[in-house]
Structure formats: C-alpha cells, structure tokens
C-alpha cells in the first residue's frame, strides 16, 4: 500500500512539474505574441488590407485549432501512449511514422481543398468586403493554407514528445515561432509590405515544426513517413477517432457564434465588449487550463485500461490540482475586472461605457473559469479512454445549455447574461462530462470531499480578505501612468497569490505538496534529454 501511495505521489508530482513547464513556455509565447501584435500595428496600422490578412489568418488558424492541435492530438496521444506502454518503443515509433504518412496525405488533400474553396470561405467571413478586398483576402488565404500541413506535423511531433514525458521543447516551440515571425517581419516588411505577413507566419510555423521534429528524432522516434499497413490496428483506431473528435471540436466553435447571434439584438458595442473580455480571459485559459490539460492527457492515457480505480484516482487528483490553481485566478478576475480592463484598454476610442461593459463581461466570464477547467480535464479523460461519442455528448450539452441560458438571461442582464450563459454552459458540460466518465468506469470518483472543500474555502476566504484590504488601503491609481497602474495590479496579484499559497501551505493539502516537490526539481531530466 505504501508503494502504491508513493507511486501516486510521484505521478502527481510529475503532472504538476510538466504543467509548470508548459505554463512557463506559454507565458513566454504569449509575451512574444503581444510584441508581435505591437509590431504589426506599428508597421501596418488598422487598414482594409490588414483586415484582408486577418480574414486569411482566421481561416488558417481555425483549421489549425480544429484539425491539427485539437482532433489530431485527441486521437493520436491516447493511442500512441498506450502502444508505447504495451508494445514498446519500436512499435510506437512505427505507428508515428505511419501516422506521419497518413497525415501528409490527408493534410495535402485539405490544403488542396482549401486552395479551391478559398473564395467561398472569404465570402462567408467577409460579406462587407468590396471586390478588390475580397480578391486580396482570397490570395492571402491561399498563400496561408500550407500552414495547416505544417502545424499538423507540429501537433504530431508534440503528441510524441508529450507521450514520452518531454514537455519543455513543445512549451518553447511557440515562442520560437513568434521570434521567427518578428525577425522575418523586421527584415522584409519594407520590401514586401503586406505580403511579408504570410511569409512570417509560414516560416514561424516551419521553425515551430522543425524544433519538435528534431527533438522527436533525438528521442529515438524519427517522424519519417512510412507506408501504412492494413493490419495496423492502432493506426485504424487513431483514424477512427479523428473524425468524431473533429466534429465535436467544430461544434464547440459555436459558442462565440451563439454569443454574437444573441448579442446582435442588443445595443451597439455589446458584442465588442464580450470580445474584449474574451481576449483577456484567453490569458489564464492558455496559461493554466490548457497547460494543465496538455500534461493530463498523456498521463491518463498511460494508465492500464482495466485499472479503473487508478484512472479515477488520477482524474480526481488532476481536477483538484487544476482547481487549486484556477480558483484563486477566478476570484481575482471577478474582483479586479474593472482595474484589469482599465489598464489594458482604457485609451483612445475605448471610453467609459466600453470600460465598464467589458469589465462586467469579464467578471461573468471569470465566474465560469472553474467550469471551463473541469470540462477541459473531463474531456481529456474521455479522450484518454477513447470515448468520442461521450465527448460529443458533452459538447452538445454545452451548446444546448448555452442557447437555453442565453435566451433566459438576455432579457434580464443584457450582454452580462450572455457571458453568464457561457460560464453556466461550461459548468453544465463539466457535470455531464463527469457523469459520462463515471458511467464508463462503473464507479464513482469522489472529487470534492468535505475536507478538501473546507481547505479550499479557507484559502479563498483569506485571498478575498487580502485583495479587499489592498484595494481599501491603496486605491487604484486611476489617473497615474500605465507603469504605475501595472505595478498596482501586479502588487495585488503578488499579495493575493502569496496569501493563498501561505494558507494552503499551513493547511498542508496534497496539492501544495505536489507543487513544492515539482518546484524543488530544477528540471525534468527525462523531458530535457
């Protein structure tokens, strides 16, 4: 029993360590992404030509999210991880090589289809463009579609690396992509003008892919295409999972569409306020939720299929740690939404109404962060158990809940109701996801026992008191410089985070133990070899 508990502790410490590595890499990438956007703004301003590029980039990026980094990872990682565990490295490497061939064939077909369908896609997304702008957007879209193939190969390499416990390189690869983008733009913008942008995107994607491809080779899994075999059950399983996951992820993209549809009946600026709030929310989502979920999927996939008890315990610990990180962030987002939005956006045409409206939407979105977190982890659990139909049911439940709650809350709370509906929808999908997992395992998973709830309650109450005292003792410097206001908000974050961690340390919860053990190790030696 002692050995079993020790293995659980080591597993959870590894999960936390890998998540921390992903968080650091994501933070670096997001900062460089901000620099990239600032550079684009300085060089091209806000013009109709840049709008055409943004339409083209939106199309390519949506394809990336749905197919490459979404469905491909969900289908490949569980199958590859299980093959690696059950059949050994050589067989797993062969599966990866055959998957590379299949990916090149399917990706090449998707690129060709995108080149042909570019005019239709542009018309759908840019109704208001004139003929010249539409023509430019079509050409830019066609120039960008090879990006889908590049990031598909990147996603495959990332899945391989994550499955062999290497998280550092996949974490820093996006940062390398942004550095390449910035360098290419700096060297070619004056000569090539707007056409430097698709070149920067493609070269950045190539560097992103090359780094992970080389590292996979170094780890003994060269992603050199190999002809698939009809008898390869693992490859067939992967391909069978891909389409249902792609369908589910496509449906998941309806959430912003639902908000825009209902928001079109409200006063002008409502949709913009929701969009600005969503952009702010993407930082904690990417930094914490996505980072943790990427570390969770290979860990859950490696657990024996028959070990339902071990899987349930691993899922329980993953959810608890994710909420351990996200709950204080959610609290801070709700309390300091006004100050955050003011610091980021209050200048120029962004006036008083936009400030308060965006802050209200952000507070409502922040309320839903725990639900988003639980949903993301539950979906990874369903991916790990290769349950595409259950994953699709969770997505449908989320969409249905969003539509119903939007219709009910819109008359009562205007655009705030739409943000609350989105938050509520993810809470519903978390509950549905939990029940689908429990139904599959055939046993309950006690995620929130009373001692855990009490411990988290004390931590959040202490954090709440610290944040309120900070605001009361040192009011937000509304008229001061950006730097001074940023220092004020940073001070609040340090005080709140320090208070929270101090309380959790004193209470001695397991999440704190995992965090301390993970942080005490300077690096994951397996992941950096």
pLDDT value of position 100: 87
CA atoms lying within 13 Å on the CB side of residue 469: 9
pLDDT value of position 125: 64
DSSP category for residue 193: G
pLDDT tens for residues 370-399?
Answer: 998 999 889 888 888 878 888 888 988 998
Residues with Cβ < 8 Å from 431, sequence gap 6 or more?
Answer: none
Q: With bands split at pLDDT 50, 70 and 90, how would you rate the model's confidence at 48?
A: low
Q: With bands split at pLDDT 50, 70 and 90, how would you rate the model's confidence at 470?
A: very high
- For the segment 116-140, the average pLDDT, to the nearest whole number, is 80
Higher per-residue confidence, 421 vs 27: 421
pLDDT value of position 200: 92
Query: Beta-carbon neighbour count of residue 298 at 10 Å?
Result: 27
Higher per-residue confidence, 277 vs 1: 277
pLDDT value of position 500: 94
Instruction: Calculate ∠ Cα 104-298-67, nearest 5°.
Output: 35
- Where b means 16+ CB within 10 Å and e means fewer, 450-475 reads eebeebbeebbebbbebbeebeeeee
Rounded Cα distance, 405 and 399, in Å:
10
pLDDT of residue 180 exceeding 90:
yes
Question: Virtual CA dihedral for 431, 434, 436, 442, nearest 10 degrees?
Answer: -140
pLDDT value of position 173: 87
Copy the structure tokens of residue 60: 């390519």
Rounded Cα distance, 490 and 494, in Å:
6
What is the percentage of the chain residues whose pLDDT exceeds 70? 86
pLDDT value of position 36: 79
Q: Which of 332, 248, 326 is nearest to 291 (CA)?
A: 326
Question: What does each C-alpha distance from 307 to 8, 387, 442, 493 come to in angstroms?
Answer: 13, 16, 11, 41
- Distance between start and end Cα atoms, the chain: 32
- For the segment 117-121, the average pLDDT, to the nearest whole number, is 85
pLDDT of residue 196 exceeding 70:
yes
Which contacts (CB < 8 Å, 24+ apart) does range 267-274 have?
A: 267/414, 269/353, 269/354, 269/357, 270/357, 270/414, 270/415, 270/418, 271/415, 272/354, 273/354, 273/357, 273/358, 273/360, 273/361, 273/415, 274/361, 274/415, 274/418, 274/419
Q: Which of 172, 199, 173 is nearest to 184 (CA)?
A: 199
Torsional sign, CA 273, 277, 280, 286: negative
pLDDT of residue 305 exceeding 60:
yes
Q: With bands split at pLDDT 50, 70 and 90, how would you rate the model's confidence at 253?
A: low
pLDDT of residue 34 exceeding 80:
no
Higher per-residue confidence, 466 vs 260: 466
pLDDT value of position 207: 94
For residue 102, the SS3 value is helix
Higher per-residue confidence, 327 vs 27: 327
pLDDT of residue 460 exceeding 90:
yes
Run of H or E residues at 16: helix 2-44
Copy the structure tokens of residue 34: 């901000």
Torsional sign, CA 64, 66, 70, 76: negative
Copy the structure tokens of residue 433: 């996801």
CA-based radius of gyration for the chain:
23
pLDDT tens for residues 500-520?
Answer: 999 998 988 787 777 777 766
pLDDT of residue 290 exceeding 60:
yes
- For the segment 246-274, the average pLDDT, to the nearest whole number, is 70
Q: With bands split at pLDDT 50, 70 and 90, how would you rate the model's confidence at 400?
A: very high
Q: Assign residue 386 a region: left if phi > 0, alpha if psi is -120 to 50, beta otherwise?
A: left
pLDDT of residue 143 exceeding 50:
yes
């Amino acid at each position: 029993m002692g050995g079993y508990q020790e293995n659980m502790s080591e597993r959870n410490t590894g999960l936390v360590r890998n998540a921390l590595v992903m968080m650091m890499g994501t933070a670096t990438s997001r900062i460089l992404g901000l620099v990239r956007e600032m550079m684009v703004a300085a060089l091209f301003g806000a013009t109709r030509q840049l709008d055409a590029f943004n339409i083209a980039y939106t199309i390519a990026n949506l394809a990336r999210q749905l197919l490459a980094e979404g469905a491909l990872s969900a289908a490949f990682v569980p199958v590859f991880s299980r093959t690696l565990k059950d059949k050994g490295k050589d067989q797993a490497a062969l599966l990866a090589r055959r998957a590379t061939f299949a990916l090149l064939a399917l990706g090449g077909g998707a690129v060709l289809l995108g080149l042909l369908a570019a005019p239709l896609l542009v018309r759908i997304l840019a109704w208001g463009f004139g003929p010249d702008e539409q023509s430019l957007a079509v050409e830019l879209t066609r120039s960008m579609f090879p990006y889908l193939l590049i990031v598909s190969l990147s996603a495959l390499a990332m899945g391989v690396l994550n499955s062999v416990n290497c998280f550092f390189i996949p974490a820093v690869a996006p940062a390398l992509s942004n550095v390449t983008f910035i360098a290419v733009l700096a060297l070619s913008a004056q000569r090539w003008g707007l056409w430097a942008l698709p070149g920067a995107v493609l070269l950045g994607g190539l560097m992103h892919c090359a780094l992970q491809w080389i590292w996979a080779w170094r780890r003994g899994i060269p992603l050199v295409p190999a002809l698939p075999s009809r008898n390869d059950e693992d490859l067939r399983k992967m391909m069978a999972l891909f389409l249902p996951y792609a369908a589910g992820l496509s449906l998941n993209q309806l959430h912003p569409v639902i908000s825009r549809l209902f928001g079109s009946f409200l006063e002008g600026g409502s949709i913009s306020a929701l969009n600005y709030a969503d952009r702010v929310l993407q930082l904690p989502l990417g930094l914490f939720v996505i980072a943790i979920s990427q570390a969770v999927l290979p860990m859950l996939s490696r657990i024996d299929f028959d070990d339902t008890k071990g899987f349930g315990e691993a899922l329980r610990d993953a959810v608890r740690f994710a909420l351990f990180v996200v709950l204080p962030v959610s609290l801070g987002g709700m309390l300091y939404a006004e100050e955050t939005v003011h610091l980021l956006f209050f200048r120029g045409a962004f006036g008083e109404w936009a400030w308060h409206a965006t802050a209200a939407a952000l507070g409502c979105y922040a309320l839903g962060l725990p639900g988003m977190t639980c949903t993301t982890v539950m979906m990874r659990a369903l991916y790990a158990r290769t349950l595409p139909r259950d994953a699709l049911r969770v997505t449908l439940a989320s969409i249905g809940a969003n539509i119903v709650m939007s219709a009910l809350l819109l008359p009562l709370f205007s655009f705030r109701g739409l943000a609350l509906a989105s938050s509520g929808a993810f809470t519903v999908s978390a509950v549905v996801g939990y029940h689908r997992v429990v139904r599959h395992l055939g046993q309950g998973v006690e995620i929130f026992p009373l001692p855990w709830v009490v411990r988290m309650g004390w931590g959040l109450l202490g954090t709440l008191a610290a944040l309120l005292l900070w605001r009361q003792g040192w009011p937000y410097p509304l008229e001061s410089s950006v730097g001074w206001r940023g220092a004020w908000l940073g001070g609040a974050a340090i005080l709140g985070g320090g208070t929270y961690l101090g309380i959790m340390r004193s209470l001695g919860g397991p999440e704190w133990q995992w965090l301390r053990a993970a942080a005490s190790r300077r690096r994951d030696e397996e992941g950096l070899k």
